[in-house]
Amino acid sequence: MGYRVVDTDSVEPKPDRPCECRKLSGPGGFDSAAINRFRAEPGEQLPLAYHYHETQQEAFYVLDGTLSVETPEGTYEVPADDLFVVDPESPQRAYNPADADGPVTVLAIGAPPAADDAVAYDPDDE
C-alpha cells in the first residue's frame, strides 16, 4: 500500500510563469496525470499562451474566485466549485480578468500527462 500527503504550499512555484503554478504530480508520486495548482491575481493568465493540447484532456476545478476561459467559441465564466473540461485539440486560454475582485485558485488536472503536446494557438489565424 502507498499513501502520501503533500503540503501544496511547500511545493515551490515554477519560475517564469504568468501566475503562481505549483506542479503537484511529482511531489505526490502521481504519474497517470498532471496535477497543478494555479493562483492568478487579477490580470494574470494560467498558461504560458493561448494553446491547445494534441492528446491531453484538461479539467480545471475552481477552488476560489471565478476563472475566465477564452475559446474560439466565446469566453466561459467558471465560478468556485465548478469544473471546466477541455478536450484535446480545443484551444483555450484560462485567466483572471484584470477587473476581478480578487485572485482565482484552480486545481488543473491533465491526462494523459504530456509535457510536449501543447501547441500555441493564434485566433487571428482562423
Can you give the residue ranges of every domain in the chain? Answer: 21-125
CA dist 31 and 44 (Å) reads 28
Residue 124: pLDDT band (50, 70, 90) is confident
SS3 (DSSP) at 41:
coil
SS3 (DSSP) at 103:
coil
- Residue 113 pLDDT more than 90? no
32-77 residue pLDDT tens: 999 999 999 999 999 888 999 999 999 999 999 999 999 999 999 9
Segment 88-112 shows an average pLDDT of 96
SS3 (DSSP) at 29:
coil
Give the E-state strand segments of the chain in sequence order. Answer: 20-23, 34-40, 51-53, 57-64, 66-71, 74-79, 83-86, 93-95, 104-111, 118-120
Of 1.10.8.60, 2.60.120.10, 3.20.20.60, 1.10.238.10, the CATH number of 21-125 is 2.60.120.10
Cell numbers that stand for 51 in this block: 494553446
Segment 84-106 shows an average pLDDT of 97
99 or 47: which leads in pLDDT: 99
Segment 16-40 shows an average pLDDT of 94
Residue 126: pLDDT band (50, 70, 90) is low
Across the chain, how many H-helices and E-strands are there? 1, 10
Mean pLDDT of the chain: 94
Q: What is the pLDDT of residue 101?
A: 96
102 CB-near residues (< 8 Å, 6+ apart): 42, 65
* pTM, full prediction: 0.92
99 torsion bin: left (phi>0), alpha (psi -120 to 50), beta (else): alpha
